[in-house]
Structure 1
Amino acid sequence: MASEGTPRYTVPGLTVQGAGTVVELLQQRLHSLNDLHLTLKHVHWNVVGPHFIAVHEMLDPQVDRIRDMADDVAERLAALGGIAHGTPGSLVEERTWEDYSVGRADAIAHLGALDLVYNGVLQDLRAAIKTVGDIDPATEDLLIEQLRDLEKFQWFVRAHLETAGGTLTTAHATTETEAAQQSIDQ
């Protein structure tokens, strides 16, 4: 009997074992995207300060696109014969990162923290692309499309954090709270 993570069947031209590897990676991508859209809504609801409206309105299109990305990942996961686990409990139990740590805060502080969030999401996504590229070009294509959009969203965030000299205010931060503090100290 196949484990819950190993599909019993998959798409033509892909082995069940290969599909199992891709399904595992896609499940982490699904968790990452669900967590990211919830984090962005948290920021949307808790941002304050002079840049409030710019950040508040910048985030909703990102949330919408990231929700669409999650749907695409879940559907690909199912097409490969896997089971898309999208419940809050499975996300919290299976994620490999800590929960977003900034509450009500200045817009620039949240953007500093979001820059680090995007760093983590993008690093994990690039690693997943590298792995699936050898197994399934259709999934690789899906993830590359998402990479382009997520990098654009990080660019939107970073545009608020870049100095006139071309450096990021969060360049040396290792935690969200450090990034939030460094971005408002500049």
Structure 2
Amino acid sequence: MYVVKSPLSDADLKTVSVALQGALVDLVDLALVAKQVHWNVVGPRFRSIHLQLDEVVDSARRYSDIVAERLSTLGVPPDGRAGTVAASSGIGATPEGWVKDTAAVKTLVDALGVVITRMRERLEATGEADPVSQDVFIGVTADLEKHHWMFQAENG
């Protein structure tokens, strides 16, 4: 079996891999939540929110790939399986059935808020251990904060 050797010390690798794996789970779940709401949103602001949700899905999917590949680069197999995501995500339950546009916005504001908080914790945790991974967290967090701002602005 081929094994990738990490350039990090064992202690730093543990810190960074826990942070990256947690980020992967949150990003996969964020994409799923946004897509679920995208399919079920209804109301007067349907179109704009429907399109905005796809932007979140695209960002979450793009960054989940970057995070997973960073794990692989460090010699840690990423785990984005459904069971792992369900057991580890910090995002709460997604509404079932049709979702009124105002509830859709609240769902995304809440989900993004949770993920951003956790990303900022990971950003802090990885700074000394691996500035390269920290840089990934900086990019992810900046993009998610922009989406968060835009959904908050929907509430007026």
Question: TM-score over 0.5 for the alignment?
Answer: yes
* Separation in 1, partners of 2:141, 2:111: 14
Cα displacement string for residues 90-142 of structure 1 (whole angstroms, at most 9, x for unaligned residues): 11123344332354121111101211111111110000100001210000011
Q: Could you say which residue in structure 1 is the equivalent of 2:47? A: 53
- AA of the residue aligned to 2:71: L
Q: Could you say which residue in structure 2 is the equivalent of 1:68? A: 62
Q: Could you say which residue in structure 1 is the equivalent of 2:135? A: 141
* Separation in 2, partners of 1:110, 1:102: 11
Q: Which has the larger radius of gyration?
A: 1
Q: TM-score scaled by structure 2?
A: 0.92
2:115 equivalent to 1:117: no
* Separation in 2, partners of 1:120, 1:94: 13
Q: TM-score scaled by structure 1?
A: 0.78
Which among 3, 6, 10 is matched to residue 6 of structure 2? 10
Q: Could you say which residue in structure 1 is the equivalent of 2:34? A: 40
Which among 75, 85, 104 is matched to residue 81 of structure 1? 75
Report which structure shows greater RCO (CA 8 Å, sep ≥6): 2
Q: Could you say which residue in structure 2 is the equivalent of 1:154? A: 148
* Separation in 2, partners of 1:60, 1:95: 20
Counterparts of 1:93-132 in structure 2, within 5 Å, are 93-101=87-95, 103-132=97-126
* Separation in 2, partners of 1:142, 1:126: 11
**RMSD value over aligned CA atoms?**
1.6
Work out whether residues 33 and 70 of structure 1, in 8 Å CA contact, stay in contact via their aligned partners in 2.
yes
Identity score, percent:
34
**Residue 77 of structure 1: how far off its partner (Å):** 0.6
**Structure 1 runs not aligned, ≥5 long:** 1-6, 163-186
The secondary structure found in structure 2 opposite 1:101 is coil
Relative to structure 1, is the Cα distance of residues 130 and 15 closer, same or farther in structure 2, using a 3 angstrom cutoff?
Answer: same
Relative to structure 1, is the Cα distance of residues 115 and 97 closer, same or farther in structure 2, using a 3 angstrom cutoff?
Answer: closer
